[in-house]
Amino acid sequence: MGLHHITWRATASGVADETVVADAVAWLVGDPELVDIERTTSYHGSGLHMVSGVCKKKADSLNSLSRIGVDNLQLLIDEAETRFDESNTLHFRIDFNAFIDGEVLLAAPGQVSTIKCRTKVEVYPGQIGIDECKNILEKAKQKASSDV
């Protein structure tokens, strides 16, 4: 039981300080070396920075997930059925502005400034995906409470 990987993604406008966004994502993944900044353009031609951080190791992925805190992990457990898809991937977003202010909050749907998370849960034949998702969230919650 575990996570295959966890991916955090955020977008910064061309006039924003992309290093602030990169620092936020680096904290979430636990290592600045795992963060990548890609400069691109929007549909309308304005500059954008796509900031992503990926943990590919099981232990690092669990540590990264646990960083969002006990309360957020409990909320994800409670809402797992709506956030977990048929490819065994859990999806959620963090409010970027609150995060910069030092608070990790799950973002409301449609919120503009967010850090998106996708994490792939290991599910093997005979296992039920949503149960494995809840188990890994409980494991991350235990880790988060022991790290406090």
Supply the pLDDT for residue 4: 94
Supply the pLDDT for residue 15: 66
Residues 10 and 34: their CA atoms lie apart, in Å, by 14
β-partners of residue 91 are: 118
Reference 106, options 132, 78, 86; nearest CA is 78
Instruction: Quick: pLDDT tens for 96-109.
Output: 888 888 899 999 87
Reference 6, options 57, 74, 70, 44; nearest CA is 57
Residues 54 and 143: their CA atoms lie apart, in Å, by 20
Q: Which long-range contacts (CB under 8 A, 24 or more apart) does 123-131 make?
A: 123/88, 129/84, 129/86, 129/88, 130/80, 130/81, 130/84
Tokens of 146: 């022991």
Instruction: Quick: pLDDT tens for 47-88.
Output: 888 999 999 999 999 999 999 999 999 999 999 999 999 999
